[in-house]
């Protein structure tokens, strides 16, 4: 497959210099309107192109994959997570799937810490209040009281690259770090992070002040933080999620927050994204963001560069560096 003859379809607008480079290298079709494609439009693209470049907002399920043309040989995801793609179905059709790992780690960890600061210290609530004329009448000893971070216990669910980056930041803020993972990390890394492994997720949740969800969404992690598990958290605890909305039972989370059984939440992802549970919208102790943890100029540039490398390597007849294999979806 020669580079210039490789037909590539991109589902959303990418940084201008990335699109320019893709246009130079490949026969590329861009989404000029930047509006999300319908299933019918995705099917049309997959019937006519060698490579599809979707984003995390595009659901590429088994029906679309099985209906794709025989010429489609690569799905080069513009994103780290691939839960939007049926990787098993793609593998069965002989279609390679790639992603853009590692480049989002630092930005996502920054956003985790921003939310860890924003919720207990009531930053967004304070900002909203001061913008209302007459609401701020002067300082008072008991007004807008939040909770100190130093000395609190942070529970990290998923100690991969992002979880580790969160732990490094949390240590600087004086948080005690505990984590739950499929397996403990290496002793040297654990010592470097100042983190303590907790084999039981239930036990971790019972004993932390803040929980940060940093595991991927798989069948095994769907509603990992269920109503029962959310009920294990102390009533003052803060829940942070920058991973995938499906990992938390959002209805149960709203129930707990409305009933005062949790201290607050900071959410950058949602179970039915882009739809946000309406019961969360009016809660002062909840900070809601529009899936922007990785939204930096630097990360989008790096993601685009990885997509190009994956396509070029594949078109040259080699295994792309960010090849995603089918997994047993265990956590």
Residues annotated as catalytic are 244, 273, 291
Whole-angstrom distance, CA of residue 159 vs CA of residue 28: 37
Q: Identify whether the C-beta of residue 65 lies closer than 8 Å to the C-beta of residue 86.
A: yes
CA dihedral 249, 251, 257, 260 (to 10 degrees): -110
Strands 238-241 and 210-213: parallel
Cα separation, 200 vs 26, in Å, equals 49
């Amino acid at each position: 497959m020669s580079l210039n003859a490789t037909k590539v379809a991109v589902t959303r607008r990418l940084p201008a210099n990335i699109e320019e480079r893709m246009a130079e290298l490949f026969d590329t079709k861009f989404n000029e309107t930047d509006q999300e494609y319908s299933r019918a439009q995705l099917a049309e693209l997959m019937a006519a192109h060698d490579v599809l470049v979707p984003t995390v907002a595009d659901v590429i399920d088994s029906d679309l994959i099985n209906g794709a043309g025989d010429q489609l040989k690569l799905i080069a995801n513009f994103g780290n997570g691939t839960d939007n793609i049926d990787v098993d179905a793609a593998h069965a059709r002989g279609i390679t799937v790639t992603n853009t790992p590692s480049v989002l780690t630092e930005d996502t960890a920054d956003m985790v810490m921003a939310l860890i600061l924003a919720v207990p210290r009531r930053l967004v609530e304070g900002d909203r209040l001061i913008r209302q004329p007459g609401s701020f009448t002067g300082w008072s000893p008991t007004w807008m009281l939040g909770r100190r971070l130093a000395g609190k216990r942070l529970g990290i669910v998923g100690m991969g690259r992002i979880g580790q980056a969160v732990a490094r930041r949390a240590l600087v803020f004086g948080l005690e770090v505990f984590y739950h993972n499929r397996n403990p990390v290496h002793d040297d890394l654990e010592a470097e992070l100042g983190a303590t492994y907790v084999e039981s997720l239930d036990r971790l949740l019972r004993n932390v002040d803040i929980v940060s969800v940093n595991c991927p969404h798989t069948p095994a992690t769907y509603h990992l933080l269920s109503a029962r598990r959310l009920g294990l958290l102390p009533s003052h605890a803060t829940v942070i999620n920058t991973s995938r909305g499906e990992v938390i039972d959002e209805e149960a989370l709203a129930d707990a927050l409305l009933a005062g059984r949790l201290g607050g939440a900071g959410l950058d992802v949602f179970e039915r994204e882009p739809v946000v549970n309406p019961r969360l919208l009016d809660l002062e102790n909840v900070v809601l963001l529009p899936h922007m943890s990785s939204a930096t100029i630097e990360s989008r540039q790096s993601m685009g560069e990885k997509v190009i490398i994956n396509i070029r390597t594949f078109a040259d007849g080699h295994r792309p560096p960010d090849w995603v294999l089918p997994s047993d979806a265990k956590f």
